[in-house]
Amino acid sequence: MSQSLKAITKPLIQWFEENKRPLPWREGRDPYRVWISEIMLQQTRIEAVKSYYARFITALPDVKSLSEINDDALLKLWEGLGYYSRARNLKKAAITIMTEYGGVFPKSFDQLRKLSGIGDYTAAAIASICFDEKVPAVDGNVLRVIARIRKNRENVLLPETKKRVFSELLEIMPDQAGAFNEALMELGETVCLPNGAPSCENCPIREYCAAYREHLTEELPVRIKKVKRKKENKSVFFIRSRDNRVAIEKRPDKGLLPGMYQLPNIEGFHSEKSLHKKMKEWDLDADNITFIKDAKHIFTHIDWYMKGYRVSTTSENNRFIWVTEEELRSDYPLPTAFLKLLK
C-alpha cells in the first residue's frame, strides 16, 4: 500500500511547483508567518483569511511583539475569525518561545507540538515547510485526497483514521517534505474538492486514484458526525444612551467566549412588555425598543438563534461599560455572533 502512495510524490510535487498559488505566507519560509496562517486557516477559507493575516502581521510582525501585546488588543486583531482561544494560545506559545527558546522558533515537530495551541497538523506543517523535517501534515484536505486515492471508506472524522493516514504517509515522505505536504493540501483545496464533483481532469495523480477509476469521488470520503448540537435562543440589545454611548459588558473568564466583550443579552425570546421590564431591572429608562433583525451563529457544539433590538435610553448605569461607537470598533473585541447583529 505504501508503494502505491509513494508513486504520487514526484508528479504531485512537480504539479505543485508549477501551479501553487502566490500566498503571502509562502514568501520565504518564515516559521512565524506559516504558524499564524495555519492557525487562522483552521476554520476559515484562504481568501477570507488574507485580510486578517495582513492586519495581524502588520501589527505583530514577530514572536516578540506577539508575546508582549495586551489581551484586549490581541482579541481585537483576531475579531471576526472566531475561536478566540486560538489567539490566546498564540500569545502563550509566543511567550514560551521568548522565555524557553530565547526568541528562536523551535525547529522540530516534537518541540513545536509542546507549544500551546499547536497540534500534530500545525507542528508538522511548520516543521516540514520551514525546516524540511520528514513528517506528514494531515488535515481534512489530505484525508479527503488519500481516501479517494485508496478508496478508503473509513470515517475520516475518527482520530484513528487520521492516525493511520499519518503513519502511512510517514513511510513515504520524500526529501521535499514541505513541498509534498503543501502539494497534498493544495490539491485538496483547488482540485480534489469536497461537497460535489472534484476537478479530476486537472488532477496530476488521477491515474493512481481508485475513486476516479471507479466513479466513487462523490461518495468519498466518508464523514459521519456524532456531535449532538445544543440550541439556544437569545435576545440581544444594542443600547444607546442620550450621550450617544453604547452599553457593553465583559463575559466571564471561563466558558464560551471567555473574557470577550458582548452586547447585553438575555436567554430566550420575549414580548415587548417583558423586554421593557428587563430594562427596568437593569435600571435603564428605555424610551423605545425596536426590533433590528434575526441572526444565527454556529459554534462547535451550540447554535445561537438571536433577535436583536435597538434600545434608546436617557440614562447610563454602572452595570455596563459605556463606550463610543468608535471605541467599540477600535478597542473592544466583539465576538462574530454579535457583529452579525450590528452589520
Which of these is catalytic: 38, 79, 182, 186? 38
Question: What 3-state DSSP class applies to 148?
Answer: helix
Q: What is the DSSP string of 218-275?
A: TT-SB----PPPEEEEEEEEEEEETTS-EEEEEPPSSSSSTT-EE--EEES---HHHH
Using an 8 Å Cβ cutoff, are 309 and 291 in contact?
A: yes
Does residue 27 carry a catalytic annotation? no
- For the CA atoms of the chain, what is the radius of gyration? 24
| Angstrom distance (rounded) from CA 298 to CA 22 | 31
CA distances from 334 to 58, 202, 250, 252, 283 (A): 21, 42, 10, 14, 24
List the beta bridge partners of residue 286. Answer: 313
**CB count in 10 Å sphere of residue 316:** 17
- Find out whether 132 and 178 touch, Cβ atoms under 8 Å: yes
Classify burial at 21, counting beta carbons within 10 Å of its beta carbon; exposed 0-12, middle 13-18, buried 19 or more: exposed
The DSSP code for 214 is: T
Using CA atoms, how far apart are residues 64 and 66, in angstroms rounded to an integer? 5
Active-site residues, by number, are 38
